[in-house]
Amino acid sequence: MGTPPQSLMAATVDRRAVLATLATGGATVTGGCMGRLRTIAGWESASQISLEIKTLPADADPYAIRIARQLALWLTEAGIDTTVTPMDGEELLRQVLLRNEYDLFVTRIPDRFRSPETLYSLLHSRYSESPGWQNPFGYTNLDVDDQLESQRRVTGDTRWRAVSRLQQTVARTQPFTVIAFPDDIRAARTNNYANWREVDMRSPFGYLRLSNDTGRDRETGSTTATPGPELRVVSTDHRPTENLNPLSVEFRRDGLVTGLLYDSLGFERTSESIEPWLAASWSFETSVEGIYATVRLRDDLTWHDGTAITADDVAFTYPFLADTSMGSIDTPGSDEDRDSPVPAPRFQGPVSLVETVRATGPRTVEFDFVDCTRRIARRAFTVPVLPKHVWRERTGSASVGGIEVGSATEALVTTNIPPVGSGALKFEEHTAGDKLVLEQYEDHFLSAATEESLPAGFAGKPTYERLSVNVAGSDTTAVEMVRRDEADVTGTAVGAETVPRIGRASDLELLVRRSESPFLVGYNTRRPPLTNPRFRNTIARLIDQSHLTQEAFEGYAAPAVSPLAATRWLPEDLEWTGESPVAPFLGTDGELDIDRVRDAFRDAGYQYNDDKLVETN
């Protein structure tokens, strides 16, 4: 963006003077005067930059609103007209991810940043027009695209260098500003389950591994925990009680409940190891054309409605997620049968790794991958497998009362209740807004399989017969329900202000674990002035992550610059050193130095007019 001429203010004043003269009617309107007016009108007038921050209300997320409010104070001090608009989680995701109607948003990202591959769908420009968590920022940077592509193809030091460069470019151009990685705080009842600390409560697989066996007590043989028939989870998120569609991005906080209902071929055990789950085994081969894999499904798998799970379902799932219309929706106005694909707003990263899938037998599937390494290719196995007999009926246009509305397919808008899944838990009942009950699925391989065929770390079927999700109005209420023995655990992480409450209660365990999903400020890079990377970079310099870590997170978070800060992929020059190494705060201890702020914006090509940051439009 070019620097507006210094005479801009003068030009505005001059035009006002001209208009005033005309308005008084005292001027002789000559041809020369008109010409001058035209010349002046060619210069655009300057108006104050205004930004709206969309985020969640305190009931849904105590941290997000604090970050948003503090950011609004900083932006206002910098001369930007700022409003904060809190909204329901579902509505926030709808406006940000599906309609791109936002300037800035503050929320926690659902992805767990364990592998650089996670950034592929978040930042690749091929997704800038895709709905969902696929590049919601509209960010387009060809260097970033190249690095995202190359980290898929190479290994070792070459990959490390590509990932480093990728993070450096992203940090400099700021499609989003990482605030901090929060600690996930949970309250759990110690008298029901004992291994809360060993399992990962952010993953469906953690819920399946809950037991009264701590490992510690095995030698002494003593354990005080006795699991009840029902695992009672209290959640501040009402959405799973209303919608169980794994494709509905606006209803999914982290996909935990749908992850319990729908199994995938493999599961992510550690940061970069994906192991067979629904698959009995897989083998990779490399040829001149690329890599392909043969996946063998476990024997005797069935969907929750009793239908057999076959290779056909797997072969259906991948093309279906890439285009939920399966070519059935024609582009309006075109003569030929040209299709406009309607991709699912989730899972596009893993799905994009797959070139073709073929069922070569009732339980054998062959995958052809795009140009990538085996390690990357295995990530394709983390998407949920969907029953073909249910979802192929949902490829038509979505309609309300028989009238087709919008461009979505039925698959994207259905509530999918009751869901026909394949997971170890199946749907039993729900009360929208209040409660969801899942029950053990007896025919799941965890119940039926012999011990040696189970994935390592899983002892068999879940120790509880039912899992219920109860909705609470806020974190405090959720913790209180656990304290009063009306729930066993807070399923959603709760805010730091509940820590003393959990600590005071004798039979509650305080579970604190550093999360891999950061809070971030996302910028809509489609809208000026946020199109300008220098403007975004200057906004990033108005954010004091250290201050926010203390004030908003009460210390229960780690500030960071890169989304991969919690991994081994973080280059040294992006490590947090008390302040951001790429966008250091323009002030000290949360207090902005207004002179430095103004200089920074002026350097970026913007101007101040009566303490207001102005842009020409």
Residues lying near other proteins in the complex (CB under 8 A)? 52, 57-59, 65-66, 69-70, 83-88, 90-91, 432-433, 472-474, 476-477, 479-481, 484, 486, 551-552
Among residues 175 and 495, whose Cβ is nearest to other proteins?
495
Least CB distance to other proteins at residue 473 (A): 4
Among candidates 404, 39, 467, which has minimal Cα distance to 240?
Answer: 467
Among residues 65 and 376, whose Cβ is nearest to other proteins?
65
Beta bridge partners of 146: none
Q: What angle do CA 54, 58, 64 make, to 5 degrees?
A: 50
Residue 57 one-letter amino acid:
P
Among residues 59 and 579, whose Cβ is nearest to other proteins?
59
Among residues 81 and 275, whose Cβ is nearest to other proteins?
81
Least CB distance to other proteins at residue 528 (A): 21
Least CB distance to other proteins at residue 343 (A): 25
Least CB distance to other proteins at residue 560 (A): 21
DSSP per-residue codes, 50-118:
EEEEEE--TTT-HHHHHHHHHHHHHHHHTT-EEEEEE--HHHHHIIIIIS---SEEEEE-SS---STTH
Cis geometry, peptide bond prior to residue 529 (ω within 30 degrees of 0):
yes
Least CB distance to other proteins at residue 402 (A): 19
Least CB distance to other proteins at residue 382 (A): 32
Q: At what angle do helices 31-41 and 8-24 cross, to 10 degrees?
A: 140
Write out the two tokens for 473: 């109005």
Among residues 95 and 130, whose Cβ is nearest to other proteins?
95
| CA–CA distance, 376 with 369 (Å, rounded to integer) | 10
Q: Helix, strand, or coil here: 559?
A: strand
Among residues 195 and 241, whose Cβ is nearest to other proteins?
241
Least CB distance to other proteins at residue 210 (A): 24
In degrees rounded to 5, what are phi and psi of residue 221? Answer: 75, 5
CA distances (Å), origin 328, targets 199, 320, 347, 372, 390? 43, 11, 21, 30, 16
Among residues 21 and 83, whose Cβ is nearest to other proteins?
83
Least CB distance to other proteins at residue 480 (A): 4
Among residues 125 and 477, whose Cβ is nearest to other proteins?
477
CB-count burial class (<10 Å; 0-12, 13-18, 19+) for 505: middle
Q: Helix, strand, or coil here: 156?
A: helix
